[in-house]
Chains A and B, each alone.
Chain A
Amino acid sequence: MKINGVQPTFTHNDRYATLPLASDVTSVALGSRDAHRRTKSCTSHPVTDKMGEAEETLKRIDTHKGVIGTIVVNAEGIPIRSSLDNSTSVQYAGLLRHLTTMARSTVRDIDPQNDLICLRMRSKKHEIMVAPENNFLLIIIQNLCE
Chain B
Amino acid sequence: MAEVEETLKRIQGQKGVQGIIIVNSEGIPIKTTLDNSSTVQYAGLIHQLVMKARSTIRDMDPQNDLTFLRVRSKKNEIMIAPDKDYFLIVIQNPSD
Count of inter-chain pairs, beta carbons less than 8 A: 77
Interface check B61, CB cutoff 8 A: yes
Q: Is the interface of B mostly helix, strand, loop or mixed?
A: mixed
Q: Point out the residues of chain B lying under 8 angstroms from A57, CB to CB.
A: none
Docked-complex contact A121 and B57, CB < 8 angstroms: yes
Q: Which of A93-129 contact B (CB under 8 A)?
A: 95-96, 98-99, 102-103, 106-107, 109-111, 113-125
Docked-complex contact B45 and A122, CB < 8 angstroms: no
Interface check A136, CB cutoff 8 A: no
Q: Point out the residues of chain B lying under 8 angstroms from A119, CB to CB.
A: 69-72
Interface check A41, CB cutoff 8 A: no
Compute how far the CA of A129 lies from the CA of B2 in the bound complex, rounded to whole angstroms.
Answer: 35
Docked-complex contact A117 and B73, CB < 8 angstroms: yes
User: Considering residues A96, A98, A123, which has the most beta carbons from chain B within 10 angstroms of its beta carbon?
Assistant: A123
Compute how far the CA of A116 lies from the CA of B74 in the bound complex, rounded to whole angstroms.
Answer: 7
Compute how far the CA of A107 lies from the CA of B65 in the bound complex, rounded to whole angstroms.
Answer: 23
Q: Which residues of A contact B (CB under 8 A)?
A: 91-92, 95-96, 98-99, 102-103, 106-107, 109-111, 113-125
Which 8 pairs from chain A and chain B are nearest by CB?
A: A122-B68, A120-B70, A118-B72, A107-B73, A106-B45, A123-B64, A114-B73, A95-B56
Q: Which residues of B contact A (CB under 8 A)?
A: 41-42, 45-46, 48-49, 52-53, 56-57, 59-61, 63-76
21 A-B residue pairs with CB within 8 Å: A91-B59, A91-B60, A95-B59, A99-B52, A106-B45, A106-B48, A109-B45, A110-B42, A113-B75, A116-B72, A119-B72, A120-B68, A120-B72, A121-B66, A121-B68, A122-B68, A123-B64, A123-B67, A124-B64, A125-B61, A125-B64
